[in-house]
Amino acid sequence: MESFSSNSARSYIGKNVNLHLKDGAVIVNVQLTALRKATGKNNTFIEYQQGNRKTTRLPLRNIAYAEMLNLNLIKNPA
């Protein structure tokens, strides 16, 4: 599997995803809001928002992959 890069992160901006981290943790149902670059090498951060909470930054190098959510299953239970 390829690593999670800024190109693949850019495709998820504005969408709800589950973020799977390299240490095995999962951040559930977050909306990716922006991709920020800081000075220096490998200093790219992804910004996400969980519900109505404040925006949080996470280094891109800590993310293994993102899993897209189907909100129709969450909002419209059968």
- Structure confidence at residue 77 as a pLDDT band (50, 70, 90): low
Q: How large is the average pLDDT for residues 3-23? A: 91
Q: Which of 75, 47, 67, 69 is nearest to 4 (CA)?
A: 67
Structure-block tokens of residue 54: 């404040």
Kindly tell me if the per-residue pLDDT of 42 is higher than 80: no
Q: Report pTM.
A: 0.83
